[in-house]
Amino acid sequence: MTATLLDIRKLSVDIARGRRALRVVNDVSLTVEPGEAVGLVGESGSGKSMTAFAVMNLFPSPLARVAAGQVVLNGQDLTSLPADALRRVRGAQVGMVFQDPTSYLDPLMPVGRQIAEPLRAHGRTDGIDARVLELLDLMELPQAVAVARKYPHELSGGMRQRILIAAALAMKPALLIADEPTTALDVTVQAGILKLLTKLRRELQLGILLITHDLAVVAETCQRVNVMYAGQIIEADAVGPLFKAPRHPYTQGLLASILSPASRAHSLFSIPGGVPIAGQWPSGCRFHPRCPIARPGVCDVLAPELVARGSGADRCHLGGEAVAADAWRTEARSGTRP
Amino acid sequence: MNVAATVGTPFQRAPFLKLLLRKGSTWAALAFIAALVLAAVLAPWVVAHDPLRGGNDALLAPLAAGHWLGTDDLGRDVWARVVFGARISLTIGIASALFAVVVGVVIGALAGYFGGWIDALLMRVAEFFQTLPRFVVALIVIALFGTSVLKMIVVIAALSWPQLARVVRASVATLAQSQFVDAARVAGMGHAAIIAREILPNAAAPIIVLGSLDIAMAILIEASLSFFGLGDANHVSWGAMLNDAQQYLRSAWWMSVFPGLAIALTVLAFNLLGDALNDALNPRGAAR
Amino acid sequence: MTAFILRRLLHAVPLLLAVVVLNFLLIAFTPGDPITLLVGDFPAPPEYLAQMRREYGLDQPLWVQLLRYLGKVAVGDFGFSFANQQPVAALIFDRLGATLELTLTALLFASVVGIAFGVIAARSASARRHGVADSVIQGASSAGYAVPDFWLGQILILVFAIGLGWLPSQGNAPVRGSAPGWAGWVAHLPYLVLPAFALSLRYLTLITRITRAAMLEVMGADYILAARARGASEWTVLVVHALRNAAAPVLAVIGYNVGFVLAGSALIEAVFAWPGIGRLLFESISKRDYPVMLAILLMVSATVVIANLVTDIVHRMIDPRIERA
């Protein structure tokens, strides 16, 4: 029984807004085992990226900070580490790749040097060039020597993303956090990157936390998945059961809005309403204004807890009930379906 | 400098005054400028002595009887001379900035609106003027052609207009493409009317900001010219006072400190005002 | 790249030409007899005046005069200074070294310190909303920019030379004459401190401002976050990544404002009696020595044009993305 690689416990992230603080990630807990890919799914504004940044305590804005909870990596609580100890963890025990490879690479530095950066930053002095070439090979990039000398703008989008991944894995970290790694890439290139991630996971026993809004990506790459809405996890399960029988109405809605060949003839389905603005969450269950089976007096008053059910867990008052199993059925019927 | 590309002059947007007066330093700058203008206008009533007439009490230290800032080498009251010096500085500063704005706006608008060879030619001319080191040229032109308040205003304005012209040209060129200009043209408005009534009010923001900064620069140039002995001898000037002070540094530090402080504070005030106007008129660029 | 350089050179030539023409026009249209202008207020025999008239071709049409002037400038003949009884070119050449020393020191000091302060201010501003270091540096910059350099020179003299007696206030060498070689050079350094500092201050504040702004824009960039995610040290992030990317606008400001420093040197040399070209200008103005004045104007303008040209080229060289113009 190997120890859990990453254990996020009741994490909360606040963003300072004037005098108040907005809690954009609320009491989130999830785990990643070694060699396992776990997905974190949600629409924009769900707080999924903030959760990812919180692991390394590296936020794009100086206004964001970890307000509560712990991030335990290989038994070590990262939230309690001082700045220089945390710097030694970054890039060495956990690596991160980001959404748009173009803006995440220094335009004035050859990519080989950027891949070597974590090696130098953590005190390694020799064998750097060899390691860089080794990584480029691992990323399936041909002509590694020539590529290492190039500048980011001389490479294609897919190649740049592979460079980012190479840099993230340079020090052989056990965990890779991937924040929307394929969103900015062409569809054809996406598949290549995802296949690469799966190969790396298997060969290197790499644990991956994959953040995305695209359920199809999760289906292809992950073993377990957590669904986030309005800063909270509202459902967690193994991938198979979740896709076969999603329990939370939001998850069901998400799955229903993915077009499958069978539904080509039908009208587009989308969850009515919009994601609530941070700070203006509905009372009680945050999803209740958009939920087809919301029960007045319960769902708009009481905030539901995350309850273990079956192989996973979900956050719904009506979790065990029959109507929850296909919450949108009546909605679908009210549309124009032949 | 961002172009305020939205329709409607920046002043019409409600929070303009609120944004402008956000910082304490802006309040201080405005207050100082108001006080300075008031003192300059009411100069004869604010001071007790004739700034041009010396007496027997030469080189008195500050806080001497009747001369709270002391006297200079010819017995003239320093406070009186500082107050009267404001007249020249403000006059030349504001007049030359105004002049530069007018010339810059006209040339910039023509270049931006008509484009083509007019644009190329005018911008080459602007570039030439901009290359010339402002102070050295002003120095030499005044030295050659003689000095007077008017000449100084003209020379300083002639060296300040290019920067304004370039900015105006950029704004006008962008705005000339927009739809409300097309609408005006279809409605039969002539070129001049379009430029004056439709385009320029929307390009006002950078003009105002640069105008304020130009006032500060003009005051500095005038002080420098006067320091070199090229000021108008009929008027009291801070720069000329510093020229006098040069020989008496060892014996009369107050001859240098007070006029210099006056220049520094005035320039600072106009610079702060320019910055505050920039923040208020371009809220998008003011995040940091 | 060479194509770009050639184009910029081609662009600069008409500018230089225009400067020379402007010079000529100033001579031609100044009130008074041009010859008396060139001779200044000095007594000269009438035969000499007549000879000068012929030599300068004042009986010729204006455009011929212009060509003759261009010819003279091209060979470095800037006329004769009656006040100093020397050819102008030689006079300027004598004083050039002192001015170069002063301006280059000021430029270097302002650049290094300005960039350092700009980086510190940007770091402070991005680490927390209202960093203390940032506010202090910004306030000091605003104040420093408003201070006239010649007044600053006087204040520095009052405080450091007269008040504290630490540093000399006039000239660039001890009056008694300096020892030759190394010792002499070291002995004259204290004379350089105050004037160089006074000259550099306003320029320094400009550089601080642009460095801070450029750094802030760069530090918000994604690749900075990515570098931190790889465990890069703060120094690496600030200097190797951020500063290099922010370098382009900073270098542009440094280069395009060289004229600023040149102009300021005239005032500073007057205050500190520094024996350079600025002081020569000051003297020539009070003595109405027109050939010297005009020659200096020409030289300064030409230097600015060349400095702008060099800055353009360096600017292009720094950013590998804009290789193909």
Distance from CA of A27 to the nearest CA of C (A): 24
pLDDT > 70 fraction of chain C, expressed in percent and rounded: 86
Q: What rounded mean pLDDT belongs to chain C?
A: 81
pLDDT > 90 fraction of chain C, expressed in percent and rounded: 18
Secondary structure E strands in chain A: 6-17, 20-32, 37-41, 64-73, 76-77, 94-97, 175-179, 207-212, 224-229, 232-238, 307-309, 312-314
Residue B287: pLDDT above 50?
no
Residue C323: pLDDT above 70?
no
Tokens of B52: 């041009």
Neighbouring-strand partners of residue C46: none
Q: Which positions in chain C touch A107 (Cβ < 8 Å)? A: 223, 245, 321
Q: For residues A136-164, b (16+ Cβ closer than 10 Å) or e, as one string?
A: bebbebeebeebbeebbeebeebbbbbbb
- CA pair distance A155, A84, nearest whole angstrom: 34
- A337-to-A252, A266, A329 alpha-carbon distances in Å: 18, 6, 12
Q: Which positions in chain C touch A90 (Cβ < 8 Å)? A: 228-231
The edge-to-edge listing of strands for the beta sheet with A207-212 is A94-97, A175-179, A207-212, A37-41, A224-229, A232-238, A312-314, A307-309
- CA pair distance B215, B160, nearest whole angstrom: 10
Which parts of A171-237 fold into alpha helices (H)?
187-204, 215-221
How confident is the model over B87-108, as a mean pLDDT? 91
- CA pair distance C281, A237, nearest whole angstrom: 83
Chains that touch B (3 or more CB pairs under 8 A): C
**How many C-beta atoms surround the C-beta of residue A282 within 10 A?**
16
Inter-chain contact B264–C146, Cβ cutoff 8 Å? yes
How confident is the model over B108-134, as a mean pLDDT? 83
The pLDDT score that the predictor gives to residue C40 is 60
The pLDDT score that the predictor gives to residue A319 is 74
How confident is the model over A309-327, as a mean pLDDT? 78
Q: How many residues does chain B have?
A: 288
Note the pLDDT tens digit of each residue in B48-77: 778 787 777 777 777 777 778 888 888 888
Task: Identify the burial level of A202 via C-beta atoms within 10 angstroms of its C-beta, where 0-12 means exposed, 13-18 middle and 19 or more buried.
Answer: exposed
Chains that touch A (3 or more CB pairs under 8 A): C
| A&C contacts, CB < 8 Å | 80
Distance from CA of C319 to the nearest CA of A (A): 7
Domains of chain A: 6-228 (3.40.50.300), 251-334 (no CATH)
- For A106, the closest chain C residue by CA position comes to C223
Which bin fits A11, alpha (ψ -120 to 50), beta or left (φ > 0)?
Answer: beta
pLDDT > 70 fraction of chain A, expressed in percent and rounded: 93
Residue C31: pLDDT above 80?
no
User: Residue B220 is nearest to which of C18, C148, C155, comparing CB atoms?
Assistant: C148
Residue in the structure block whose two tokens are 């335009």: A107
Q: Which positions in chain A touch C228 (Cβ < 8 Å)? A: 58, 90
Which bin fits B71, alpha (ψ -120 to 50), beta or left (φ > 0)?
Answer: beta
Residue B280: pLDDT above 90?
no
What is the full DSSP assignment across A218-270?
A: HHHH-SEEEEEETTEEEEEEEHHHHHHS--SHHHHHHHHTS--GGGGGSPP--
How confident is the model over A251-263, as a mean pLDDT? 71
| Lowest-confidence region among B7-11, C67-71, C201-205 | B7-11
Q: Which positions in chain B touch C144 (Cβ < 8 Å)? A: none
Angle in degrees, CA B248, B249, B250, rounded to 5: 90
Note the pLDDT tens digit of each residue in C262-296: 888 889 998 998 988 888 888 887 777 777 888 88
**More reliable by pLDDT, B281 or C227:** C227
Residue B286: pLDDT above 60?
no
Query: What ipTM was predicted for this assembly?
Result: 0.83
Distance from CA of B128 to the nearest CA of C (A): 6
Q: Does B234 touch chain C (CB under 8 A)?
A: no
**More reliable by pLDDT, C73 or B13:** C73
Name residue C162's amino acid: I
The pLDDT score that the predictor gives to residue B283 is 60
Query: The whole model's pTM is what?
Result: 0.79
- For A172, the closest chain C residue by CA position comes to C230
Inter-chain contact B136–C148, Cβ cutoff 8 Å? no
Contact C229, A167 (CB under 8 A): no
The pLDDT score that the predictor gives to residue B91 is 92
Residue A332: pLDDT above 80?
no
Inter-chain contact A107–C245, Cβ cutoff 8 Å? yes
Please, do chains B and C touch (3+ CB pairs < 8 Å)? yes
In C, what residues contact A, Cβ < 8 A? Answer: 126-129, 220-223, 225-233, 236, 240-241, 244-245, 319-321
The interface residues of chain A toward chain C in range 161-190, judged by CB-CB distance below 8 A, are 164, 167-168, 170-171
The pLDDT score that the predictor gives to residue A256 is 79
Confidence band, pLDDT 50/70/90 cuts, at residue A2: low
The pLDDT score that the predictor gives to residue B11 is 54
Distance from CA of C324 to the nearest CA of B (A): 23
Secondary structure E strands in chain C: 80-81, 86-87
User: Residue C223 is nearest to which of A56, A105, A170, comparing CB atoms?
Assistant: A105
- B239-to-A107, B88, B163 alpha-carbon distances in Å: 49, 10, 25
Q: What rounded mean pLDDT belongs to chain A?
A: 85
* Helix or strand holding residue B125 (H, E): helix B116-131
Residue A296: pLDDT above 50?
yes
Confidence band, pLDDT 50/70/90 cuts, at residue A338: very low
Pair type for strands A94-97 and A175-179:
parallel
Distance from CA of C18 to the nearest CA of B (A): 8
Angle in degrees, CA A100, A104, A108, rounded to 5: 130
Note the pLDDT tens digit of each residue in C222-248: 899 999 999 888 888 888 888 888 888
What is the full DSSP assignment across C248-275?
A: HHHHHHHHHTHHHHHHHHHHHHHHHT--
The pLDDT score that the predictor gives to residue A168 is 92
Q: Which positions in chain C touch A105 (Cβ < 8 Å)? A: 223, 226
Inter-chain contact A121–C321, Cβ cutoff 8 Å? no
Note the pLDDT tens digit of each residue in B232-278: 888 889 999 999 898 888 888 888 999 999 999 999 999 999 888 88
Q: What rounded mean pLDDT belongs to chain B?
A: 82
Contact A100, A179 (CB under 8 A): no
User: Residue C231 is nearest to which of A92, A151, A153, comparing CB atoms?
Assistant: A92
Residue closest to A67 by CA, chosen among A83, A51, A82:
A51
User: Residue C320 is nearest to which of A60, A118, A151, comparing CB atoms?
Assistant: A151
Q: Does A92 touch chain C (CB under 8 A)?
A: yes
